[in-house]
Amino acid sequence: MKRPVITPRSRTFPRLRRRTAALAAVALSLVLTGTGCSGGGTPSPAAAGAAPKAAPVVSGPLCDLLPSGSDPGNPAALAGQPAEAALQWLPVLTTFEAAVRASGMSADLRGGSGVTILAPTDDAFAAKFSEDDLDHLLLADRDTLRGLLREHLVAGSRSLSDLVAAGKVTTLAGTTVTVTGGGGGSARLADRADTVCADYQVAGARIHIINHVLGNLPTTGGPGGHRAH
């Protein structure tokens, strides 16, 4: 059965608005990457003689449900894209991507030395925060939001195997996260979160999707992420 095409969601906070210019840049990059051409469509001598670059490999139980093959947003298509643009193509990270934009931290994802992004899924945010609390973070409490996001960023672009080998990493918030290997190409973080699709390679960064929100903010959400009454 042919996999349906997945595109970034368009929503207001916490839903995303599709940014035409960003998507046009992604589409153009996909065309150039797919053709490997220069000039009038004739492969350059360097490109013709170069060995094909291995496609990035992601791992984890959620990967089968995310864009793959020739779908827009597949791992190979995201390689080399800015992190903030790549996040828009991962349909389980709409809340995290909205938080990055709301906090003004897009520049933090483009550090010269690279960054590792531990990105919680939408379900992880819904389990952690009520809708009211999440809306408050996104719309009104930028300082707390920035602190929360720093709990999910590690200096340096590190693969999953790098994280497991290190055993411990320090986030940009200054907290220490223990990392232990798990089965099925996953890892356990801080003894409470698991990577569910790891090793997206983007420009100067690695994105590891996780199933739990890190940090010490109070839990006010639940399975449905309902609004407080």
Domains recognised in the chain with CATH numbers: 20-210 (2.30.180.10)
Q: What is the pLDDT along the chain (229 residues), one digit of tens a residue?
A: 444 444 454 443 444 333 334 434 444 444 344 444 344 444 443 444 444 567 789 999 999 999 999 999 999 999 989 999 999 999 999 999 999 999 999 888 876 679 999 999 999 999 999 999 999 999 999 999 999 999 999 999 999 999 999 999 999 999 999 999 987 789 999 999 999 999 999 999 999 999 999 999 999 997 544 554 4
**What is the value of pTM for the model shown?**
0.76
Where does 104-200 have alpha helices with state H?
Answer: 122-128, 131-139, 142-150, 160-166
How many CB atoms lie under 10 A from the CB of residue 150? 18
